[in-house]
Chain A
């Protein structure tokens, strides 16, 4: 018998396993309440299972936290990119709105002026201390004339000083070489508005003109024939004591020349009084 057992060892083990299994199944059927083996195994495995479950829960918690953190980080990066894009778009929109507003105002001025004007865009600036000029994208081929007045909605910018085929250089009113005939709106005192090194303007009137005070508006006088009458030049911010012949007043330019981007070029001379077009300035 033992010899047989050894000879067919593997089959005998299978037989044993089958017998044990069927016995368990059978016994279980006969006495379902006597689950002593289940109880015994469970007593050993339950604490280990509980430990594993705790570890698993913690690991799962960590993993979930990591996933949430990762998702939050991805969200934050996405939102940051969105904010940047929106800010950029907003800036662009603001820029377009400002440009639109400027062009509308310029167009309205052009219609009010009732003279033939040429619109131009500023393409370059010359801001050194000695000269102050702008380069525009209109030139001889567009019908521009040398010394033609250049304006924007708020007043005088300067005059066309150098004419090229498809561009022109404008001498700004604040250029030290610029000199334009001006008139104090309230007192009608005539004088010269000159550019000052440093980007300011000054009004030179006769010493006898005592009524000139801070806050007075100065317009072009039309004298000299280059600039039409009635274009805003600036506002008096300071009046100096008179010297022998002249009374000097510092002016704040009517136009913020640093921000000019589009201009209108008027015909040289003969445009009459354009003061009505700037009555709101």
Chain B
């Protein structure tokens, strides 16, 4: 029953990220919409769905972005799993949970990707990456998550 919805989430999320999101950039900072999508889905559907959807979205991003295949699949699969575990400790009715989760997940996604990229001798320093890419993107993702959570359709499901 949920399968078409998941396909739609993966396909739509990938296309939105590659077509619409680049236009939403401010001062060079572009949100990572799939991270927000994975977190929101995982919070509602649990770690299994979060993990698989994260993997699929990440893989699609890997394909489109042209980076090491499996890199974002791994990071997003992991954050999807962890986000899916959050309802065991947090109240989903609290709107701050998905927002904070999106921010933390973006930082975790970035850190994880950086860690894996070390296998490929990625040249940039983590501090530089954190300050100029990961944290601004995390903030933007937090705003994006807040906007999505504020949407009635998303709120009812929470």
Known: A10-B84, A42-B63. 6 other contacts (CB 8 A): A10-B46, A17-B52, A21-B71, A23-B70, A45-B64, A56-B23
> Across the interface, which residues of A come within 8 angstroms of B70, CB to CB?
20-25, 28
Q: B119–A25 contact, CB under 8 A?
A: yes
| Consensus secondary structure, chain B interface | helix
- The answer, among A14, A25, A48, A56, for a CB contact under 8 Å with B20, is A56
Contact B18 A49, beta carbon cutoff 8 Å: yes
Docked-complex contact B68 and A28, CB < 8 angstroms: yes
Complex Cα–Cα for A25 and B73 (A): 10
> What 1/0 flags go to A2-44 for Cβ under 8 Å of B?
0000000110011001101111110011000001011001100
* Count of chain A residues with a beta carbon within 8 Å of a chain B beta carbon: 27
Contacts of B78 in A (CB 8 A): 14, 17-18
CB distance from B24 to the nearest CB of A (A): 11
CB distance from A59 to the nearest CB of B (A): 9
Q: Mark B78-100, 1 if CB is under 8 A from A, else 0.
A: 10010010000000000000000
* Bound Cα distance A10, B49 (Å): 9
Partner of A45, one of B14, B20, B69: B14
Please name 28 pairs of A and B residues whose Cβ atoms are closer than 8 Å in the assembled complex, sorted by A: A9-B48, A10-B84, A13-B51, A14-B77, A14-B78, A17-B73, A17-B77, A17-B81, A18-B74, A18-B78, A20-B70, A23-B70, A24-B59, A24-B62, A25-B68, A25-B116, A29-B120, A38-B63, A38-B66, A41-B59, A41-B64, A45-B14, A45-B64, A49-B15, A49-B18, A52-B19, A56-B23, A60-B23
Whether B15 and A37, one on each chain, are in contact in the complex, defined by CB atoms closer than 8 angstroms, is: no
Could you give, for residues 45-57 of chain A, a 1 whenever the CB lies within 8 Å of some chain B CB and a 0 otherwise?
Answer: 1001100110110
The answer, yes or no, to whether B37 is at the interface (CB within 8 Å) is no
User: Are A25 and B15 neighbours in the complex by a CB distance under 8 Å?
Assistant: no
Do residues B73 and A14 form an inter-chain contact, with CB atoms below 8 A?
Answer: no
Q: Are A14 and B51 in contact, CB atoms less than 8 angstroms apart?
A: yes
Contacts of A29 in B (CB 8 A): 119-120
Chain B nearest CB from A240 CB (Å) reads: 89
Q: Are A21 and B73 in contact (CB under 8 A)?
A: yes
Contact present for B64 and A25 (CB under 8 Å)? no
Given contacts A17-B81, A41-B63, A45-B60, contact A53 B19 (CB under 8 A): yes
Contact A17 B55 (CB under 8 A): yes
Residues A10 and B51 in contact, CB atoms below 8 Å apart: yes
Name the B residues within 8 Å of A20 (CB-CB).
Answer: 55, 70, 73
Tell me if B48 and A13 are in contact (CB < 8 A).
yes
Residues of B in contact, count (CB < 8 Å): 33
CB interface residues, B 1-40, toward A, < 8 Å: 14-15, 18-20, 23
CA distance A58 to B119 in the complex (A): 42
Q: How far in angstroms is the closest Cβ of chain A from B76?
A: 9
A14 to B63, alpha carbons, bound, how many Å?
A: 21
A18 to B119, CA, bound (A): 16
Given A10-B47, A13-B51, A14-B77, answer yes or no on A25-B63 (Cβ-Cβ < 8 Å): no
Q: Are B81 and A14 in contact (CB under 8 A)?
A: yes
Known: A48-B15, A53-B19. A10 touches B69 (CB 8 A): no
Residues of chain A lying within 8 A (CB to CB) of residue B73: 17, 20-21, 24
**In the complex, A59→B33 CA distance in Å?**
20
Q: Which residues in B have their C-beta under 8 angstroms from that of A18?
A: 74, 77-78
> Contacts A20-B55, A45-B60, A45-B64; is A25 near B69 (CB within 8 Å)?
yes
CA distance A52 to B78 in the complex (A): 29
A41 (CB) vs chain B CBs: closest residue:
B63
Interfacial chain A residues near B120, Cβ < 8 Å? 29
CB-CB < 8 A to A22: which residues of B? 70, 74
Tell me, rounded to whole Å, the shortest Cβ–Cβ distance linking B27 to chain A.
Answer: 19
A15 CB to closest chain B CB, in angstroms? Answer: 10
Q: What is the 8 Å Cβ interface bit string for chain B, positions 106-131, against chain A (1 contact, 0 not)?
A: 00000000001001100000000000
In whole angstroms, what is the CA distance A55 to B23 when docked?
13
- The answer to whether A28 and B15 touch across the interface, beta carbons within 8 angstroms, is no
